Structure formats: C-alpha cells, structure tokens
Structure 1
Amino acid sequence: MANRRQFLTGLLATGLAPLPTWADAGSPAYLSAAARADGAYVLCGIDAARAILFQIPLPARGHAAAAHPTRPQAVAFARRPGTFALVIDCTSGQTLHTLTAASGRHFYGHGVFSADGSVLYTTENDYEAGEGRIGVWDVTAGYTRVAEFSSGGIGPHDIKRLPGSDVLVVANGGIDTHPDSGRTKLNIATMAPNLSYIAEDRVVETATLAPDQHKNSIRHLAVARDGTVAFGMQWQGDTLSPPLAGLHQRANAVQLLKVPANNLRQMQSYVGSIAFSADEAQVIATSPRGGMVQRYDARTGALQDSFAITDASGAAPAPDGVMISTGTGMLMTLGDDAVSVQTPALQWDNHLVALG
C-alpha cells in the first residue's frame, strides 16, 4: 500500500495522474459529525446502504459539514458559536487546512461551495455590529479568506446554493448573540428572520414571515431541483408555535406547511433538520426535542404522517425516501417502511450532509 501511495504521489507531482475524487474515499453518500462511545468526536462518511466508510477525528464537537463538489474534501464546522473549521482530506483523514474566523466573527456551523468548487462560503456573525456576514474563502489559494459580504439579516445559520447556479440562499435566523453571553439570545422582542437570496455578493431578494411570526427563527434549508427552498424553524415565543416549516420559490410568497395543533405541539417548537425526499414529492422535518419526524406533501403543504423517533435530527434524501440520523446512534431510511440500522458506538450530531 505504501509503495502504491508513493507511486500515486509521484504521478500527482508530475501532473500525470488524475486528481482524486469522492470515489477514492469510498463514494460516500453522506457526511455527518458524531460522538464515539469513548468521548472522541469524528466526521463520518456513510454510504447509501448506511455502512460507515470512514471515521476521521475532530478536535471538538462538530455540527455540519460542506462537501467539495468534486474533490474528496470536506469542511467540518465546529458547533456554533465556533471559531474554527477544518478542511479534511477524506481519503487520508489528514487535516489540510484550519479555517479561523476573522477577528470579531464566529461561524454558525454551516457552509457551501460554489458550483465549480473554487470558493467556499461560510455563515458568520459580526458580533459587535450584530450583523450577519458571509465569509468568502479562495479554495484554489489554500482556503484563504479573501472577502465577506452581508448575509441580508441577523444570525445567518444554514446556507445553500440554488441548482445550476451560484445564487446562494441564506437562512437568517434573526437572533443576535455575542460570545461574552455564550448562546444567550439578545433580541427576542425585535427578531426579524428572513430568507435572503444572494447573487454576485449582493442580496437580490428577501422573503419574510408575517409580523406575528417574527419569533420563528428560520434555521435550516433544503433545496429542490427546481429551486424550491424548504425551511425549518425554531419558535422563540411563549405560546404554541405557528407552523415550523415552509416552502419558498423566488418571486413568490412564503408558504407555511399545514399541521394540526396536536401534531405541532409534538415538535416542541423546534425543527432540527429539513429535507426533500428523493423524488421531491415530500418534505421531512425532524425534531430532536420532540422525538418526532413529520412528513408533508410538498405539493399541497399538508401533513401526511408523523413518526416518534427518539432524538431524530439529521435528514437527507435517500434513493428510497429519506435518511434519518439520531443522537441515539440510529440510521433509518424513511420510505414506505422505516428501516433502521443501530450503530451504538456512535451518537450522530445534528445534520446529515448529502453528496451529489
């Protein structure tokens, strides 16, 4: 093996060997951060059959990851509010670069690459100004931070790219925080969450909620092939929450998904992840707090069914439905039937990141 690696390294140095791809890392279908039974933290690659392909050590608890579109590289983000992210070679497990948040900034645990993989975008907080920023990192220059621009709101959390373009959509949760106060929420009374669409470093469209729902923090995103954005929210009010998931298409009004009050209570005001099914006919929202997963009709917005799944959080499309991960170590494919694989040596963190 060592001789083969030396041979390939020599070929790469001369430019004669093809660049490595995700196939060289075992062709993972998903990435997820996890905690091991011994207390160590890892980034895992998972295949479509729910087998664990690799476990790469992390220095602290992870949140989400960004997968390079062609190279077997992942950016693993610290749990928010974190100030570091690691660029990992998923074939060797080596840390290639450590990204450090700029002075006066912290990461929110999410990022996304440009379509060609030459740029990484990260959601960040300018905590002295109380403004959301998007960091711009030049991948070709060794993940050097080269610029930043407004996220279009406060508390940008998730960020995605619309298919076939470099238009970004950002979930501005609306919550102001400061490292001196930890995770304390400083502006609940004046929250103003939104979805911001950004093209060429400029906000070109913003979608907002009704005024009486301004405490519904927009946190997590999924994007369909036609550009429809599904979003999950976390209610910061003292009353029963309004719907916690919605859909949006550019130039249209926000559509909140329809859910009876009893089913809404089961979610305990909190959506942890959101995903489209593989055929995009359904939207799935998870609640680790409520121990629930809800499935909606993506066309009508109506709730179809609910599943009690302890500490369910991660969600991503699967060939036969949606993959769900849990903090109890379960990987489950939610289709017409629920199929689970228990991995008791791992406790999955918040998100499943689908590749491709």
Structure 2
Amino acid sequence: YSIKAEANRHFYGHACYSLEGDLLYVTENNTSDFSGVIGIYDVASGYKKIGEFATQGIGPHEIVMHPDGKTLVIANGGIKTERASREELNIDSMQPSLVYLDRHEGKLIQQVYPAHNQMSVRHLTMHNDGTVIIGIQFQGERHLNVPMILTHRLGQSEFTALQMDQTNPNGWHRFHHYIASVSVDSNRNLVCATSPIGGCAAVFDLNSGELIESVDLADCAGVAVYPSSNWHNSTTDKAESPTFLVSDGQGALTQIKVNIQTRPFSVKVEKVQQPYAFDNHLNVIERK
C-alpha cells in the first residue's frame, strides 16, 4: 500500500502497528501550526485514516509500540521544520521529549525531557521488558560532550545515559552528535547504535550500561538484530553469538558478532559488499 498524507499533514518517516496488526500509527506534522500528531490508519479498510492524536510536542519522529500493547512510545524531536525548505526554525528554543500515549484514547501517560533542550529525541528501540533505548541527535554547540544514548522505563522520572569509555572524558564526541539508529537484543541485553557522521557502530552492555566496543564503519546507519545460524541450531546455549547487522551507504552489510563467553565481552566483525547503497534504517524479517 501507498499512503498519502492528507491536507496540512506530512509524514516524518516512521510508523508502528498495533500488536494485533489491525491499526497503523504514523508520526505526522500539522503544517498549519507545526504541532506533532499521530495518524491512525485502519488496515482492513485499505489504510484509511480514522483518527489522530496529539503527540504533546513538535517534530515527532520514531514511534514504537510498548510490549503492553496499549501504549505508544513517541520520540518528539522538538525541531520545528518548514515543510518546503526543510529549514529548522527553533533550534535555540526547541523542547524535545519522550512521550507515552494511551493508544486507544490518545491520553498522555508520561512525558520526559532530556537534560539539555537541544538533545533531539529521534530514534527508539524497545526492549521486551519495556525499556526504551533512545538515540539522540544533538543540535547544540559542537564542543559539548553530551550523552547520545539514553534509556527509560515508564514511570521513571528521568533518563539514564549509557556510558562511553571511562578513560576518555570526551567519548561521546565519537558520534559527532548524531545517532542514526538503535537496535536492542532483548535476550542478551545488548544495544547497537550507528552514526554515519561519526563513521562508527557501537555496542553496549545494558546490564552494566557500558560500552563494549566501537567499530569503524563509514557512513553506517541501519542496524538490526540478526539471527545467526548458531542462534537457531545450538542445543546448549541459544544466541551463543549475538549478532547485529549494520548497513551503510557504501553498499556493505556488516555483521558485528558479540562474544559473550569472554570477560570483558569482545566483538568480531564480518563485512560483505553488496551491489546497493543503503540508507537510514534496517529491519530483519524472519521467514517461518
């Protein structure tokens, strides 16, 4: 299906289904007043728009469904963008947030703001236990070293930042203030984040909140948990070698395999060149 935005709306590029698969929720911009909305589309009627909710902010970007099946989790980027020119109009006064909405009524459940108002909340991934992992795109001064990957659980009063190399006080500069995608392995509590501007993908241990390793990958953006062969075939320890698949604009698909049998954890990198150039995001679909 191809869904066309209605008058005075444009899409921000992300959507999620209800757990039942009957409704699609889409992040949209009200071009009349720049307010963020969630468009609701009915699958059975050919994706007809049947309603919308306010996101309680500006510039909603990624949206994911909470494992409870009744809560929408929305990244309000906070940036007021002029539709035609793509000019950013409010960088100094922007107010990003993470929002939890009741998907049935659109009621605001919780709204959380980052420590710095220019930490644009952009990309999300959802752990099976309800932890949200957030990728930040920082719009502030280039010299500032702000955390780029945060976590949050519904009910917590503030975000928790993951930790870069403790021996490097400027570690977050590795990402050049830009996270393109985040992906979580819920079975092993691992997170991978990509930065095409920083030219790297980084893997974190959620149990400790610390960086495992940062891998140089030029122009990488898409990332997804990739079921390796021994994940399915091992009779002793499934997910023996958790793997993230990373795509990049130079046509490579790179497997970052995490060795969880060692302390500290280590990674192995395998790259395969493809006859394509990949853009922002990546999903792995398993055939039954």
TM-score (norm 1): 0.69
Q: Which moved more, 1:345-354 or 1:133-142?
A: 345-354
Unpaired stretches in structure 1, ≥5 consecutive residues: 1-86, 88-97
| Structure with the larger RCO, 1 or 2 (CA within 8 Å, 6+ apart) | 1
Measure the CA separation in 1 of the matches of 2:8 and 2:169: 42
2:67 is aligned, of 159, 163, 171, to 163
What's the CA shift for 1:178?
1.7
1:208 corresponds in structure 2 to 113
Measure the CA separation in 1 of the matches of 2:30 and 2:254: 38
- Aligned partners of 1:283 and 1:296 also within 8 Å: yes
1:341 corresponds in structure 2 to 272
1:353 corresponds in structure 2 to 283
2:43 corresponds in structure 1 to 139
Residue type at the aligned position of 2:107: R
Residue type at the aligned position of 1:162: H
Q: Does 1:218 align with 2:121?
A: yes
What's the CA shift for 1:263?
2.9
- Aligned partners of 1:235 and 1:241 also within 8 Å: no
1:235 corresponds in structure 2 to 138
1:196 is aligned, of 94, 99, 110, to 99
Q: Does 1:154 align with 2:58?
A: yes
Q: Is the partner of 1:179 in helix, strand or coil?
A: coil
Residue type at the aligned position of 2:256: L
Residue type at the aligned position of 1:203: L
Q: Does 1:306 align with 2:214?
A: yes
**CA distance change for structure 1 residues 155 and 318 in 2, over 3 Å: closer, same or farther?**
same
Measure the CA separation in 1 of the matches of 2:53 and 2:61: 15
**CA distance change for structure 1 residues 261 and 126 in 2, over 3 Å: closer, same or farther?**
farther
1:29 corresponds in structure 2 to none
Q: Does 1:117 align with 2:7?
A: no
What's the CA shift for 1:284?
1.2
Measure the CA separation in 1 of the matches of 2:70 and 2:43: 15
What's the CA shift for 1:291?
0.4
1:258 corresponds in structure 2 to 163
Q: Is the partner of 1:187 in helix, strand or coil?
A: coil
2:191 corresponds in structure 1 to 283
1:317 is aligned, of 207, 225, 228, to 225
Measure the CA separation in 2 of the matches of 1:164 and 1:251: 14
Q: Equivalent pairs: percent with the same residue? A: 36
Q: Is the partner of 1:350 in helix, strand or coil?
A: coil
Q: Deviations over 1:230-280 (max 9, x none)?
A: 010101012324011100011112101122444322211100001113534
Q: Which moved more, 1:161-170 or 1:305-314?
A: 161-170
TM-score (norm 2): 0.85
More helix by share: 1
- Aligned partners of 2:131 and 2:152 also within 8 Å: yes
- Aligned partners of 1:222 and 1:231 also within 8 Å: yes
Measure the CA separation in 2 of the matches of 1:205 and 1:164: 15
**CA distance change for structure 1 residues 275 and 338 in 2, over 3 Å: closer, same or farther?**
same
Q: Is the partner of 1:264 in helix, strand or coil?
A: helix
What's the CA shift for 1:103?
0.9
Q: Is the partner of 2:277 in helix, strand or coil?
A: strand
2:248 corresponds in structure 1 to 326
- Aligned partners of 1:126 and 1:133 also within 8 Å: yes
Residue type at the aligned position of 1:207: V
Q: Is the partner of 2:144 in helix, strand or coil?
A: coil
**CA distance change for structure 1 residues 354 and 198 in 2, over 3 Å: closer, same or farther?**
farther
Q: Deviations over 1:190-220 (max 9, x none)?
A: 111111011122221112112xx11010110
Question: How do residues 14-29 of structure 1 correspond to structure 2 at under 5 angstroms?
Answer: none
Count of residue correspondences: 256
Residue type at the aligned position of 2:110: E
Q: Deviations over 1:58-115 (max 9, x none)?
A: xxxxxxxxxxxxxxxxxxxxxxxxxxxxx2xxxxxxxxxx211111111001111111
Residue type at the aligned position of 1:295: V
**CA distance change for structure 1 residues 241 and 108 in 2, over 3 Å: closer, same or farther?**
farther
- Aligned partners of 2:180 and 2:222 also within 8 Å: yes
Residue type at the aligned position of 2:5: A
Measure the CA separation in 2 of the matches of 1:271 and 1:187: 20
What's the CA shift for 1:164?
4.2
Residue type at the aligned position of 1:353: N
Residue type at the aligned position of 1:144: K
- Aligned partners of 1:230 and 1:247 also within 8 Å: yes
